[in-house]
């Protein structure tokens, strides 16, 4: 098993038109494959970003009926690449969805799924507020999966603020982490790079963080800046603010090297008493 491969992050600006977004993302995936990407990662909600949460229920899909899942599985098989479908809103009842990430292999088969654990319930400045838990049922399981090159750990967007999840994934064997996102422009400018680099440094993992970009007709802005970070915390590529793709060369031998130099994953201590 080789430890070296090329990863790509797709950066799109999804609107509330699933068919349009599938065409747009498929074009970007083809570009990435044309540049020798072997693993292509898509952002959170890459197939549809709705104006309000309730629209994910009114116009949403069950897993077996989702056109984006079917189309991207077929594309992965056609191009002979592995893909991370950052996340889709998957209806699980008339009132709830999961925010679900999919790992698809080069045959178009679903290898693993992950339901976002930590939900984005926040109030930002100037009336900008989000309450993902209105419609999303959180996941309750950390997940890893085997790729041809090594072990991948899953997360989605707001999960990035909970470092214990990533430590658990790394200690379970993950050498790579994914953080597909639709980060708000407000929080992205303040925190995105720091958080993603921190998760890489803390775990000695590569981190693949594809993000949505752009402004929607109803005003919502997403931050973009899809990045790949190496196990030492170096940003290998940055997608900036515009639609497109970024690529990076991955060498998983650098994971072992970083962990030899800073073996923090083996230094946990039990705190018996606390003054807090």
Active site residue 107: no
Active site residue 213: no
* Residues 94, 95, 101, 107, Cα dihedral to 10°: 0
Catalytic residue among 44, 48, 91, 213: 44
Catalytic residue among 157, 205, 213, 254: 157
Catalytic residue among 9, 91, 116, 213: 116
Strands 82-91 and 39-41: parallel
Q: Rounded to 5 degrees, what angle do the CA atoms 250, 101, 145 make?
A: 55
End-to-end Cα, the chain, rounded Å: 47
Active site residue 44: yes
Q: Which residues are catalytic?
A: 44, 116, 157
């Amino acid at each position: 098993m080789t430890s070296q491969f090329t990863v790509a992050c797709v950066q799109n600006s999804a609107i509330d038109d699933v068919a349009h977004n599938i065409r747009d993302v498929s074009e970007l995936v083809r570009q990435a494959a044309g540049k020798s990407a072997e693993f292509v990662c898509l952002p959170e909600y890459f197939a549809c970003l709705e104006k309000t949460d309730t629209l994910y229920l009114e116009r949403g899909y069950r897993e077996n009926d989702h056109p984006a899942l079917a189309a991207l599985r077929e594309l992965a098989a056609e191009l002979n690449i592995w893909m991370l479908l950052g996340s889709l809103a998957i209806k699980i009842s008339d009132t709830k969805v999961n925010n679900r990430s999919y790992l698809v292999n080069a045959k178009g088969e679903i290898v693993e799924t992950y339901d976002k654990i930590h939900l984005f319930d926040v109030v930002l400045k100037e009336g900008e507020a989000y309450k993902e838990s209105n419609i999303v049922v959180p996941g309750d399981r950390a997940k890893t999966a085997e790729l041809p090159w090594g072990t991948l750990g899953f997360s989605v967007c707001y999960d990035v603020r909970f470092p214990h999840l990533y430590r658990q994934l790394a200690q379970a064997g993950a050498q790579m982490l994914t953080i597909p996102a639709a980060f708000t422009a407000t929080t992205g400018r303040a925190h995105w790079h720091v958080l993603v680099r921190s998760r890489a440094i803390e775990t000695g993992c590569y981190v693949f963080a594809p993000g949505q970009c752009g402004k929607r007709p109803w005003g919502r802005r997403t931050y973009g800046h899809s990045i790949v970070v190496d196990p030492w915390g170096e940003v290998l590529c940055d997608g900036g603010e515009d639609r497109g793709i970024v690529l990076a060369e991955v060498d998983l031998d650098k994971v072992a090297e970083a962990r030899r130099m800073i073996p923090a994953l083996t230094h946990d201590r039990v705190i018996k008493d606390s003054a807090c």
